[in-house]
Amino acid sequence: MLIQLLLIIGVACLVYRFVLSELFECRLVGSESFAFLSLFRKFVQWWLDQAVGSYRSYDDLRDSFYGKWRVDWKGYSSQHAQTSSLIAYGMLKSSNQPSVKENLSFAVISPSIVKLEEGGRLVFPIGLAKKACVQLVPKTTMQQVLLEQALNGYWKLGQTFLTDKWCAIPFTRYLDLTKDEKDSLIQKLLK
């Protein structure tokens, strides 16, 4: 029994999480995409305005105001509450008087709502019947292969960091190093 347990644990240790982050040039498609960057700044400022006092943890901040966020920002994806509150919490921890300046021109997109479509387009909901679209511009063969592999389900998209000119995307995959698949995906990227 103990030997079997050790073997199972040993085999489980051969499954590794690989994360490849790539920086893509991008073009925001449509007015909703441009508006979202400004809107995300407002989401973050909303959290900062609520956070009078100090919060011991991110969970304290989020749990204290999440319900109010859902009311004040009715119709917007709740995932934006999560990502904007994380940014606000980071700002609270790093500054005595945090505020969102006009130059805060980025957004963080949750992996649970972003979708990669044919042609290298990222699509994610902003609110009810409103979607943003971002056209990725792969500059290398590796970026093109990563996008193709992600479309085919080999990689999952992680939390995406978006500006009006570029987009950082982590691609995640669990690989069992005891199986033949371990090298085929990576070898395609190395070509």
% of the chain surpassing 70 pLDDT:
82
Query: Domain extents for the chain?
Result: 15-190
In the structure, what pLDDT confidence band is assigned to residue 1 with cuts at 50, 70 and 90?
very low
pLDDT band at 139 (very low <50, low <70, confident <90, very high): very high
Rounded to whole angstroms, the Cα distance separating 126 from 12 reads 39
Per-position b or e across 160-186, b if 16+ CB within 10 A of its CB: bbbeeeebbbbbebebeeeeeeeeebe
Least Cα distance to 162 among 138, 132, 142 occurs for 132
Strands 115-117, 160-162: pairing is unpaired
Q: How far is CA 147 from CA 56, 77, 186, in A?
A: 39, 25, 14
The answer, yes or no, to whether residue 23 has pLDDT greater than 60, is: yes
Q: What is the pTM of this model?
A: 0.80
Length of the chain: 191
Partnered with residue 127 across adjacent β-strands are: 76, 130
